[in-house]
Structure 1
Amino acid sequence: MEKNKSEIIMSFLLNRRSVLAAKLNEPGPSKKQLDDIITAGIRVPDHGRCSPWRVQVVSKEGQRKLGKLLSEIVEKNDEFEKKEQIDYWYNRPQSAPCLLIITLSPNRDNLSKIPIIEQELSCGAFCQNILNASHALGFSAQWLTEWPAYNSEVKKFLGYNEDTKILGFIYIGTSLEAPKERKRVISSEIINYFD
């Protein structure tokens, strides 16, 4: 790879930032761009070719229906502050032009050789590649879970069984401003050497 090209890619990786879903606007990716983003997601370590990742693309109407369900769950649950949270969760799934739901569909045929944890890690890498590919195409994205990922009513509503693991809601759209950098650890704080 040419030095200039590798420097561009390295700069891209060193400067990638998530943008809050609430700050993502139109346009979102076209159907072709979304296919490219998901295809890039597939290019991850995948021991035994398990392909454990699944993607549900949620349409604008689907986002509205999901928001309605979330607001109804909040309304009947005493743990939430009512009015403000009802509105917040109604709007949450609709906050970006594109919403992907990533789930784990483990290959159970050879768990002694390829344990679930390896398949979960592959799904995590899949989600990261979705973020990187979105960024590479000029979009911004945010990967979230929050309580809906663990809620049985939400899973049933989306057509999943109780055992399905939702690993992320990925919001993709266009940011109108550059994301602010946040404090991060530096490499020397997490590296140790073994001789």
Structure 2
Amino acid sequence: MSRTAVTPENLIELLESRVSASLKAMDGSGPSDEEVEQLIAAAATAPDHGRLTPYRFMKVSMEGRRRLGDLFEAVEKGRNLHASPETLEQARQKAYRGPCLLVLIGCFRSELETGIPEDEQLVTAGAALQNLLVAATAMGYASRVTSGRGARSPLFHKGLGLQENERFLCFVSLGHVALPRPAKGRPEPSSLLSEF
């Protein structure tokens, strides 16, 4: 397999070009099934102590978005018994943001079983997410990672069909934006580095 040469400058430029896109500005088509597979393959290059693969991705289909909307509405009703119809509709609409919607799920195993702390497993899931986001940027897709209190509820966990050792981590929306917004608020590298 031939590889296109990637210079450190190219890679740093690509990393610096990744920003969280506005979901309202995201339109057009998302990645094809083949491209999603390529993104998952990129995610799978994350460092993984013990080869536990402590994460998986779920792609939300159009039918899945309807069921996800029902789930968002049910969670909102559970949190707010007096939620207005407008509030419930806003909750439901969260399922339709972005042309392509993925769910990142942590699949964590006990340190007693594996000898590997859950913190390390969570770092692996985070590295997989970052690899996917950078690969999506390289393909020309905008991305946005979202979460929310309701997504951490037992009802949401059950509604997604997660196993006991699994945990919702975040949603990943992918699509295109006509005018990408500039990056802002990134810390200075010097503020992130100390010496021991």
TM-score normalized with structure 2 length: 0.88
Report what 1:68 is aligned to: 70
User: Are the counterparts in 2 of residues 155 and 162 from structure 1 also a CA contact under 8 Å?
Assistant: no
Report what 2:42 is aligned to: 40
SS in 1 for 2:64: helix
Q: CA deviation at 1:75?
A: 3.6
Q: CA deviation at 1:40?
A: 0.2
Report what 1:169 is aligned to: 171
Q: Hey, what's the Cα distance between the residues in 1 that align with 2:138 and 2:40?
A: 13
Report what 2:52 is aligned to: 50
1:153 aligns with 2:155: yes
Letter in 2 for 1:12: L
Q: How many residues are paired up?
A: 194
Q: Hey, what's the Cα distance between the residues in 2 that align with 1:3 and 1:32?
A: 23
Q: Hey, what's the Cα distance between the residues in 2 that align with 1:34 and 1:71?
A: 28
Runs of 4+ with deviation above 6 angstroms: 1-4
Letter in 1 for 2:132: I
Report what 1:104 is aligned to: 106
User: Are the counterparts in 2 of residues 41 and 129 from structure 1 also a CA contact under 8 Å?
Assistant: yes
Letter in 2 for 1:6: P
Identity of aligned residues (%): 27
User: Are the counterparts in 2 of residues 74 and 82 from structure 1 also a CA contact under 8 Å?
Assistant: no
Letter in 1 for 2:59: V
Letter in 1 for 2:51: R
Letter in 2 for 1:26: G
Q: Which runs of 5+ in 1 are unaligned?
A: none
Letter in 2 for 1:58: V
User: Are the counterparts in 1 of residues 76 and 150 from structure 2 also a CA contact under 8 Å?
Assistant: no
Report what 1:89 is aligned to: 91
User: Are the counterparts in 2 of residues 44 and 125 from structure 1 also a CA contact under 8 Å?
Assistant: yes
Q: Which deviates further from its counterpart, 39-48 or 12-21?
A: 12-21
Letter in 1 for 2:154: S
Q: Hey, what's the Cα distance between the residues in 2 that align with 1:63 and 1:43?
A: 28
Q: Hey, what's the Cα distance between the residues in 2 that align with 1:75 and 1:109?
A: 36
Letter in 1 for 2:14: F
Report what 2:183 is aligned to: 181
- Give CA deviations for 1:91-124 in whole Å, capped at 9, x if unaligned: 1121111111111112447646311111111001
Following superposition of structure 1 onto structure 2, how do residues 127-146 of structure 1 map, counting pairs within 5 Å?
Answer: 127-146=129-148
Structure 1 pair 101–20 and aligned structure 2 pair: CA distance change class (3 A)? same
User: Are the counterparts in 1 of residues 108 and 165 from structure 2 also a CA contact under 8 Å?
Assistant: no
